[in-house]
């Protein structure tokens, strides 16, 4: 699925599962990332797994890629 920082993911669910498996889902990002949700709501992503307060879409990013909002992937709603 992913080999260190050189690996890639096919979708946001893979990112989410990796972050959860590594135990980082509730850990704080090095810096908050500005996210514009697909529903149009804007929020600051503060943890490696975060969600939109308006529509509950889950977003995730791995620690290696947590410095750029372009690397954040949506992972679906509900517990993905």
Using pLDDT thresholds of 50, 70 and 90, give the confidence band for residue 2: very low
The H or E element that residue 22 is part of is helix 12-22
pLDDT of 9: 87
* pTM, full prediction: 0.89
How many domains, in total, are found in the chain? Answer: 1
Examine residue 64 and state whether it is found in any structural domain, yes or no: yes
Classify residue 68: in a domain, yes or no. yes
Distance CA 66, CA 25 (A): 12
Q: Is residue 5 part of a domain?
A: no
pLDDT digits (tens, 9 = 90+) for 3-61: 557 667 899 999 999 999 999 999 999 999 999 999 999 999 999 999 999 999 999 99
Q: Can you give the residue range of the structural domain that contains 46?
A: 12-76
Residue 42 lies in a domain: yes
At 76 the pLDDT is 96
pLDDT in the model for residue 1: 44
2 found inside a domain = no
Task: Report if residue 4 sits inside a domain.
Answer: no
The predicted structure's pLDDT at residue 79: 65
Q: Which two tokens stand for residue 70?
A: 């372009």
């Amino acid at each position: 699925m992913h080999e260190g920082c050189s690996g890639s993911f096919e979708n946001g669910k893979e990112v989410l599962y990796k972050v959860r498996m590594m135990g980082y889902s509730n850990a704080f990002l090095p810096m908050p990332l500005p996210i514009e949700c697909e529903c149009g709501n804007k929020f600051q992503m503060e943890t490696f797994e975060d969600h939109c307060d308006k529509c509950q879409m889950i977003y995730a990013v791995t620690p290696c890629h947590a410095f750029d909002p372009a690397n954040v992937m949506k992972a679906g709603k509900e517990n993905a």
